[in-house]
Chain A
Amino acid sequence: MLMRILVCAVAFLVVMPVGAQTHSQAQSWRTPWGDPDLQGSWSNATTTPLERPAKYAGREFLTKQEQAAQNTVTAVATDKRDERGTPDDVNGAYNGFWWERGWSDGRTSLIYDPPDGRIPAMTSEGKKRQGQARRSQNEAYRGAGPYNGPEDLELYTRCVVRAALPRVPTGYDNNYEIVQTPGSVAILQEQIHETRIIALDGRPHLDSGVRQWLGDSRGHWEGNTLVVETTNFGDQVTFEGSTPNMRLVERWTRMADDRIDYRFTVEDPATWTRPWSAAIAWTKTGNLYEYACHEDNYGLYGILAGSRAQEKEPGSK
């Protein structure tokens, strides 16, 4: 099993520069109406971290040995078996198989600009804001509580949204479906079954007073690349500490039958001292399935019910 996983991992390709796509290949990925064809089911899973770990400072790529070692760690964590009948066989194996972390893409970070692979320094305003957000949300998420009502839990635990845009890979369900029609591109996110509908007809953005969880996206083609600008984010969701005025530009370029080069650039002068960019391969995957989350959300129910029960215990506040 482990060997099979490793063979898959070796087959995973390093993200190629966009310029590597040949003209004739690009011609074959066309919709019947002549647009570049990005349609299909895609996964952005990868274990390559967003930011470059300190131990790889100054290096953009892993050695082959380092990449193989990282993939072995992933494979073992996903198929956490030991000798039959031992505690280690049961402990973890039952809950490890459904992780879908992907593999190392051979780079040391998804961020390629700035060249140090790290999120640029925060502005003092950004630091102050992030400190407050950490106290109010992340600590609660890590089990500190208190959980007086649903608002004290993370948006994901509440099944409102999985994460802010732009989407970076997580442990599982990194799946997207792209469907195109003349004048529009739709991107369905498996988590949490939302669709981004991106108009290509040049219409202006929504009024700045209309804020949405996933913002408001407008797109156009630059050669074979879909370029999408998203604004109008709300104030309850943040990407790495961003404000609702973050400007997000994303690019999708078909590189192979089974691969899209996806890049994003975020800019938010109230948060970071400069814009920054990352590249993530989207690879072909199987069908998307319904990720019903809020329906019978026993986890959230249990957390709140448990907190109320604890308060009734003698000696509790």
Chain B
Amino acid sequence: MRRCLDVASSAAVVSILAVTAAAQAPTYKAARLAGTDRPNLHGLWQALTEANWDIQAHAAQPGPPQFGALYAEPAGPGIVEGNEIPYQPWAMAKKKENFEKRLTRVNTDGVRLEPLDPEAKCYLPGVPRANYMPFPFEIIQGDKKILVAYEFASASRLITLDKAEPAPVESYMGWSNGQWDGDTLVVDVTGLNDKTWFDRAGNFHSDALHVVERWTPAGPDVLQYEATIEDPKVFTRPWKMSFPLYRRLDRNAQFLEFKCVPFSEELVYGHLRKQTGK
């Protein structure tokens, strides 16, 4: 009997602890990757935010007038924690300049100037942006490495799990070293170049960008994503963004191609076409 009471009281302690833990952190316990003790992140995921337009809170904006409402910008609450991006003063000016020069322009001498927006040119989107573009991506979780394949521009990342290696060279998608912190996949991303933006609003970074991502299962069909952004050349302090990722549940959902290079060629090379009929 005494033994039964012990069991009962320890059960009570356990349940109190569980309740306390619930108040602090999500209690969701994800299904395991079969044969391992790791949560299974495999699936086709997509963010449901307007952050690709602007990662900060913003009101709706008109699009090119010839398209009516088609390409107008939807309003969004933003994904930046506290909504402030701590730019150094010069960098705030640069962000505004990026936005103004995002598309092809012709200067007063009639000279064509390069469009700056890397998404418009179908460049590899970089990290963290690839995770909140309005396209699905698939996480293929092996036991030794995790591959994240993005539809946009056929971008891809390999995340090491068994060993942390320094970035061998800078690249658009960076070099990703992963490790587990409980049920959270923590990915340290370095080796990112300075040619990608955070959004269409011109928010940018330098090649000193360091991103630490945290991917946490929050339900069978939800991953909570958080990224800490550090770049001492551009920002005055590290800052964070966070948003949920949702599993694509639509019937027949599957990873499809969005090879946008041909779509971008008119923007990138149109001025180099042979002009006919002149």
CB closest chain-B residue, reference A161 = B259
CB distance from B189 to the nearest CB of A (A): 13
**Given contacts A34-B35, A199-B254, is CB(A305)–CB(B140) below 8 Å?**
no
- Cβ 8 A contact of A188, one of B156, B252, B262: B156
Contact call B124/A288, Cβ cutoff below 8 A: no
**B145: A residues at CB distance < 8 A:** 39, 177, 179
Segment from A84-92, A129-137, A289-297 that makes contact with B: A289-297
* Interface residues of chain A: helix, strand, loop or mixed (majority): loop
- Residues 22-39 of chain A, each 1 if its beta carbon lies under 8 Å from chain B, else 0: 000000000111100001
B113 an interface residue at 8 Å Cβ cutoff?
Answer: no
Those of B238-254 within 8 Å (CB) of chain A: 252, 254
A295 B123 Cβ-Cβ under 8 A? yes
A213 within 8 A of B: yes
When each residue 144-182 of chain A gets 1 if its CB lies under 8 Å from chain B and 0 otherwise, what string results?
A: 001011110000001111000000000000000101111
Stretch among A7-15, A44-52, A60-68, A190-198 lining the B interface: A190-198
The 8 Å CB contact of B140, one of A149, A186, A193, is A186
Question: Does A77 sit at the interface, judged by CB under 8 A?
Answer: no
Q: Determine which of B42, B124, B158 lies in contact with A183 in the assembled complex, contact meaning CB atoms within 8 Å.
A: B42
Tell me which of B57-65, B76-84, B93-101, B267-275 binds A. B267-275
Q: Are the C-beta atoms of A33 and B33 separated by less than 8 Å?
A: yes
User: What are 9 A-B pairs at a CB distance below 8 A?
Assistant: A33-B34, A186-B149, A193-B124, A193-B155, A194-B259, A195-B149, A195-B255, A287-B165, A295-B172
In this assembly, does A123 line the interface, its C-beta being within 8 Å of a C-beta of chain B?
Answer: no
Interface residue? B224 (CB, 8 A)? no
Counting contact residues on chain B (CB < 8 A from A), the size range is 35 or more
Which 5 A-B pairs give the minimum distances between C-beta atoms?
A32-B35, A195-B149, A33-B34, A304-B272, A148-B274
Chain A proximity of B193: nearest CB distance (Å): 9
Whether a CB of chain B sits under 8 angstroms from the CB of A311 is yes
B141 interfacial contact with A, CB 8 Å: yes
Tier of interface size on chain A: 35 or more
- Within 8 Å of chain B (Cβ to Cβ): is A308? yes
| Docked complex Cα distance between A194 and B255 (Å) | 12
Cα(A287)–Cα(B165), bound, Å = 11
For residue A21, CB closer than 8 A to chain B, the reply is no
Nearest chain A CB to B275 CB, angstrom units: 9
Check if A287 sits within 8 Å of B262, measured CB to CB: no
Cα–Cα, bound, A124→B87 (Å): 65
Q: If A34-B35, A159-B261, A287-B168 touch, does A184 touch B144 (CB 8 Å cutoff)?
A: no
Which residue on A lies nearest to B149, using beta carbons? A195
Query: B195–A194 contact, CB under 8 A?
Result: no
A206 interface residue, CB < 8 Å from B? yes
How far apart are the CA atoms of A288 and B211 in the complex, in Å?
21
Point out the residue from A32, A160, A177, A301 that lies within 8 Å of B259, measured CB to CB: A160
Identify 16 new A-B residue pairs, CB closer than 8 A, beyond the known A179-B147, A193-B154.
Answer: A32-B33, A33-B33, A148-B273, A158-B261, A160-B261, A179-B145, A181-B140, A181-B142, A185-B140, A186-B138, A197-B140, A197-B254, A199-B254, A290-B173, A294-B261, A301-B269
Q: Does A260 contact B (CB under 8 A)?
A: no
- Cβ distance A73 to chain B, nearest Cβ, rounded Å: 31
Contacts of B144 in A (CB 8 A): 39-40
- How far apart are A270's CB and chain B's nearest CB, in angstroms? 24
Separation of A171 and B259 alpha carbons in the complex (Å): 24
A39 nearest CB across to chain B (Å): 5
Does A212 reach chain B (CB closer than 8 Å)? Answer: yes
| B119 smallest CB distance to A (angstroms) | 12
Does B156 lie within 8 Å of A39, measured CB to CB?
no
- CA separation between A299 and B103, bound complex, in Å? 22
Interface residues of B (CB under 8 A from A): 33-36, 40, 42, 121-124, 138, 140-147, 149, 153-156, 158, 165, 168-169, 171-173, 195, 252, 254-257, 259, 261-262, 264-265, 269, 272-274
Q: A159, A161, A194, A212: which contacts B156 (Cβ < 8 A)? A: A194
Residue of B nearest to A214 (CB): B257
Instruction: Say yes or no: B124 contacts A295, CB within 8 Å.
Output: yes
In angstroms, how far is the closest chain A Cβ from the Cβ of B172? 5
A213 touching B259 in the complex, CB below 8 Å, given contacts A194-B156, A288-B158, A292-B171: yes
Q: What are the residues of chain B within 8 A of A183 when measuring CB–CB?
A: 42
Which of B34, B155, B269 counts the most A-chain CB atoms under 10 A from its CB? Answer: B269
A194 and B154 in contact, given A186-B140, A295-B195, A304-B269 (Cβ under 8 angstroms): yes
Which residue in chain A gives the minimum CB-CB distance to B35? Answer: A32
What is the distance, in angstroms, from B153's C-beta to the closest C-beta of chain A?
Answer: 8
Given the known interface contacts A158-B262, A212-B256, the answer about A177 and B169 at a Cβ–Cβ threshold of 8 Å is no
A307 at the interface (CB under 8 A from B): yes
Contact between B35 and A197 (Cβ–Cβ < 8 Å)? no
A122 within 8 Å of B by Cβ?
no
CA A287 – CA B145 in complex, angstroms?
Answer: 12
Q: Quote the shortest CB–CB distance from A272 to chain B (angstroms).
A: 26
Report Cα–Cα, A314/B278, bound state, in Å: 17
CB of A93 closer than 8 Å to a CB of B? no
- Interchain CB contact (< 8 A) of B122 among A148, A206, A294: A294
A300 interface residue, CB < 8 Å from B? yes
User: Do A33 and B35 touch across chains, with their CB atoms under 8 A apart?
Assistant: yes
